[in-house]
Every structure is written in structure tokens, then in C-alpha cells.
Amino acid sequence: MTRSGNIVNFPDRSPVDEEAARWVVRVGEGNISATQRAEFEAWRQANPQHAEAFARLSKHWDDLDELGALSKEPSTQLWSRPAIWGVGGLVAATLAFAVIAGAGGLFRPALSASQVASQPGLGIFQTEVGDQQKIMLSDGSTVTLNTDSRIETRINGQERTIRLLEGEAFFEVAHDAARPFRVYAGNGVTVAVGTAFSVRLDKEAIEVVVSEGKVSFSRVADTVEPVAYVAAGEAATFSDNVVIETVGETEVERKLSWIDGKLVFSGDPLSSVVADISRYTDIQFDFASQELADMRVGGVFPVGEVDDLLDTLESNFGLRAVRVDATHVLITGQEP
């Protein structure tokens, strides 16, 4: 596996630079849709500062034929090299994309339908740490299980009921108004007729992200109207409080990027980044200081690629990753 060592510091983080940097990363994912390209062009042409910022941040990268073209005019070619930047000025570097397969790999994707829940009774499906699995249900719906997740399914002529017992799952629901699609998680139930959404069960909250259609959320103990409705382009967190955010298509795709075997971050605290990445491995991270944990970074990472993450932190951010043992890493500052 190879990586470029090109690193560039950008001392100013103006709002325009922030937006431009996000577009650089978005383009770097290599899978921009026609709609997203139109959004990019509208943003770039709305203000000369937008085009200048995108061109300025893009030109610092090596091997940027496609990004360079995008900074000047619309192009049908896309750049496919992932990126990472850091706080205190954007820091750009490239990462090679690789998914390690086989028994010794950290992540073994199973994104083609590998199991069929065709029985009318109860089906149980589970993934281990680092695995993903796509399941075709007998009603035509599909479920993508994320790492370390478990569901029970009951699909028959009267009901379509899923219980998310652990982890996270993405549901693409076949339309059937007579049998609403119910996903129970924790103390809540999310109901859809025909839509696409994810549910993540954390210790203290239930997170719902909707990419198509609309879902309702209710407390299991309630028999009254739903607590809330969540529509496409919205993300919701249900705990003691209910928080619903309109995040838009691009942010929804970022939140659901794990479905495609990658994790996309945009100015997230480093502690949050490593916590999300560590869900796909048995490695746990600690930080020598809160300042290091709060460092904001962004980029595109293949799920489970812990070694690349550690190499990047050391070479690009002046940090040191100390392997305390086989499953424990301590992040510290570089020694003088």
C-alpha cells in the first residue's frame, strides 16, 4: 500500500475555506452524483471567493488533474484519492484506499445479498466486529448490518417487524401500506411504509438518519401519537430529549458512508474519529491530553484501516501512536 507524503498547511480557516475544503473532500470520494455536481457548480459560481478558495485548496495537492479541472470548469471526470485535514489550519495529505480481505483482514465486506430471510417466522442475523452484511428479506426489503450488530426479523402476511438488539442497520423498505415496517430499538420504534433509513442503537440514545421518504418515531410504552416524524435529509437523536436536524443530502450520505465501506469526517474531534473507526476493530484509543482528543480533523478512511490512520497521525499531525498492547493505543504529542 502506498501513500503520498505531500502535506500543506493552510493557516486560515474562514467559512469560505471550510466550505471549499468540504467540497475538496467530497470530490475526493470519487462518487459525486449529477445532483451533487449541480450543487457544487451552484456554490462555486455563487461567489468568486468560492471558486478562488476551491482552486487554491485544490492546487496544493499532488496528482490533481481532475480537481484542477473542476476548479476551472465543470468536468465529468472525478478525482478518487481520499483526503485528510487538521485543525490550526487545514492540513492536506493523501491516503490510498484499500480494503483488506481474508481471514487476516480487519474488515471483510459482504455487501452483496448473502442471506435470505424467507421463513415466515423469526430470523436472527448478526455481524462480528469489522464485518458488514446485506440481507434480503422475504418482502423485498433489504437490511445492511454494520459492524458488531444483531437483529431479529419477523416477516409474514400480517407484520414486518425488526428488532435491532445491537449496533446499527440501514433499511431499504419495500412499499406495503398494509404492513408498516417497524424497527424496534431500545425503548423506541421507528415506523415506515416505503423508505430508506438507518437506526443506530447507542447506550444512551437512538439515532435515526433518513435518506428517502419519511418515518415516525414512538416510545414503546406510549399508545398515543408518535413523538416525532423524520423526513429525508434529516437526522434525529432520541434520548431523554428529541433532537431533529435538517442536514441535507450531502450530510446524510456522509453519515451513511459506512454502507460503502468508508467513513467520512468533516472537522470532527479526533476522539470522535478514532471512536468511530475503532468500532470496526478490537483496538481502543486513549489520549495523553484533552487537547489532542479535541483536535479537529476530516477525511475519508476505509473502515478498519487503523494502521493507515496511525501512520497519518504521526506523519501529518506531529502526533505519536504508542501501542501499549495488541488492543490498546495511546495518542501523544511527538517528543521534542
| 256 assigned to some structural domain | no
Separation of alpha carbons 10 and 57, rounded Å: 8
Nearest to 313 by CA among 326, 302, 328, 299: 299
* Number of Cβ within a 10 Å radius of residue 6: 13
- Same domain assignment for residues 231 and 312: no
Separation of alpha carbons 95 and 82, rounded Å: 6
103 has a pLDDT exceeding 80: no
- Same domain assignment for residues 335 and 290: yes
| 20 assigned to some structural domain | yes
| 70 assigned to some structural domain | yes
pTM here is 0.67
176 has a pLDDT exceeding 50: yes
Average pLDDT over residues 202-213: 93
124 has a pLDDT exceeding 70: yes
105 has a pLDDT exceeding 70: no
How does pLDDT run across 77-89, given as a tens digit for each residue?
A: 333 333 344 433 3
Which range, of 120-124, 240-244, 278-282, averages the lowest pLDDT? 120-124
267 has a pLDDT exceeding 60: yes
Instruction: Read off the DSSP letter of residue 229.
Output: E
- Same domain assignment for residues 232 and 288: no
Separation of alpha carbons 14 and 67, rounded Å: 21
| 191 assigned to some structural domain | yes
Total domains, the chain? 3
Task: Give 247's contacts (C-beta < 8 A, 6+ positions apart).
Answer: 233, 234, 235, 255
Query: DSSP secondary structure string, 232-259?
Result: TTEEEEESSSEEEEE-HHHHHHHHTGGG
3-state helix, strand, coil in the chain (%, to 5): 25, 40, 40
Last residue in a domain, options 63, 97, 131: 97
Tell me the residue range of the domain where 225 lies: 113-251
Work out the burial of residue 318: count CB atoms within 10 Å of its CB; fewer than 13 is exposed, 13-18 middle, 19 or more buried: exposed
90 has a pLDDT exceeding 50: no
| 103 assigned to some structural domain | no
- Same domain assignment for residues 46 and 129: no
- Same domain assignment for residues 133 and 60: no
Tell me the percentage of the chain whose pLDDT exceeds 90: 35
- Same domain assignment for residues 208 and 239: yes
- Same domain assignment for residues 247 and 267: no
* Number of Cβ within a 10 Å radius of residue 113: 13
How does pLDDT run across 127-160, given as a tens digit for each residue?
A: 999 999 999 998 999 999 999 999 999 998 888 9
Q: Residue 80 is placed in which grid cell?
A: 478518487
Nearest to 253 by CA among 17, 101, 90, 30: 30
CATH number, domain at 148? 2.60.120.1440
Instruction: Give the H or E element holding residue 142.
Output: strand 142-145
Query: DSSP secondary structure string, 68-97?
Result: HHHTTS--S------EEEESSSEEEEE---
| 106 assigned to some structural domain | no
Q: Which residue has the cell 398515543?
A: 224
Q: What is the mean pLDDT of the chain?
A: 75
- Same domain assignment for residues 138 and 9: no
- Apex 207 CA angle, 185 and 163, nearest 5: 20
Last residue in a domain, options 205, 223, 251: 251
Model pLDDT, residue 10:
34
Model pLDDT, residue 106:
30
Last residue in a domain, options 37, 62, 97: 97
- Same domain assignment for residues 90 and 151: no
| 4 assigned to some structural domain | yes
Model pLDDT, residue 233:
94
Task: Give 203's contacts (C-beta < 8 A, 6+ positions apart).
Answer: none
- Same domain assignment for residues 312 and 185: no
| 104 assigned to some structural domain | no
- Same domain assignment for residues 184 and 211: yes
Task: Give 99's contacts (C-beta < 8 A, 6+ positions apart).
Answer: 105, 107, 109, 261, 302, 303, 304
State how far Cα 169 lies from the chain centre: 12
- Same domain assignment for residues 121 and 242: yes
